[in-house]
Amino acid sequence: MLLAIDDPSDSRIEAYRDIRERDLKGRGGRFVIEGEVVLHTALTLGRFAIESILIAENRAEPLAGLLAQVAAGIPVYIASRAVLDSIAGFPMHRGILAIGLRGEGLAVDTLLSSAPETALFVGLSAIANHDNMGGIFRNAAAFGLDGVLIDGASCDPLYRKAIRVSAGAALLTPFAQAGDIGDLCNALLAAGFEVLATSPAGRERLADIEPAGRQAVLFGAEGPGLPERVLSRLRTIRIEMRGGFDSLNVATTSGIVLHHLAR
């Protein structure tokens, strides 16, 4: 059943109001899903509960098949474009929104303890760009990673833009976010992972690295990269490039590395 919203101040759609401003302030355990591809992923494959859905009224008929998969009890609101834009605070060109619930979130130890004997993980340090975060998660899902560990200096993978850029992959691959990259490295090593660190100055070529039982690869922010205190204690790997150019975008790098290491 579709529930019509004709007043932007309707209390039922409070969670959708002023989306961009609340992207910055946070939503108290909620996150925003945007677009048909991401909503489809969230409804059919995602790990997170959906609280409600809000769509432009002209999208209701084209989305009928997808909306039929919505579980009973989850309200689906429809509104005119003008009302929807007023609710969101900017023109909603896709006309499809939903509110997801974060739940408890995974602890680092919990995620690692549930990893299979043959597993591939990613560790992220100070990834502050949401496009890069989304791109890395998209690669992680594409190559079947078992988990992603994210330090506290990185951005939120459930930020609206990060989810959109990931094509919904941020809702699929298990992740835990906490602490310092050094702490995450310690946790991986204690759990029996071989930990590799990416660097333009890596001592070993990626092409020479063999996939192994439990393996994790660390990526740092563009520019500073991984801290020396982490690089100095790990096997460091590099992607061979033509002379005069030594680095790639971190999301692109992750795609190349994970393709090589994926089982």
CA distance 91 to 88: 8
pLDDT of residue 220: 96
Per-residue pLDDT reduced to its tens digit, 204-223? 999 999 998 999 999 999 88
- Long-range Cβ contacts of 116-120 (<8 Å, 24+ apart): 116/146, 117/213, 117/214, 118/213, 118/214, 118/263, 119/146, 119/147, 119/193, 119/213, 119/214, 119/215, 120/144, 120/145, 120/146, 120/211, 120/215, 120/216, 120/217, 120/258, 120/261, 120/262, 120/263
> How far is it, in rounded angstroms, from Cα 223 to Cα 226?
9
Whether the pLDDT of residue 131 is over 90: the answer is yes
> What are 2-53's pLDDT values in tens digits?
999 999 999 999 999 888 766 655 667 899 999 999 999 999 988 999 999 9
Write out pLDDT tens, residues 61-109: 999 999 998 999 999 999 999 999 898 888 877 899 999 999 988 999 9
pLDDT at residue 243, as a whole number: 73
pLDDT value, residue 64: 92
CA angle 137, 21, 44 (to 5 degrees): 40
CA triple 86-89-90, angle to 5 deg: 100
* pLDDT digits 0-9 by tens, 237-262: 999 988 767 778 999 999 999 999 99
In the predicted structure, residue 192 carries a pLDDT above the cut 70: yes
Quick one: pLDDT at residue 221? 92
Contact of 217 with 262, CB cutoff 8 Å: no
- Cα–Cα distances (Å) from 135 to 31, 130, 224, 230, in that order, read 18, 8, 19, 23
**Whether the model pTM is above 0.85:** yes
CB proximity list for 114: less than 8 A, separation 6 or greater? none
Average pLDDT, the chain: 92
DSSP SS3 for 177 = strand
* Amino acid (1-letter code) at residue 27: R
What token pair was written down for 98?
């939903």
What pLDDT was estimated at residue 18? 83
Give the C-alpha separation, 168 to 148, whole Å.
Answer: 15
pLDDT of residue 153: 96
Q: What is the pLDDT of residue 255?
A: 97
DSSP annotation string for 124-169: EES---HHHHHHHHHHHHHTT-SEEEE-TTSPPTTSHHHHHHTTTG
pLDDT for 152 = 96
Cα(35)–Cα(39) distance, rounded to whole angstroms? 6
Determine the pLDDT at residue 22: 66
Q: Give the pLDDT score at 229.
A: 95
Residue 223 backbone phi and psi in degrees, to 5: 100, -85
Helix, strand, coil percentages for the chain (3-state, nearest 5): 35, 25, 40
Question: Is pLDDT at 183 greater than 70 in this prediction?
Answer: yes
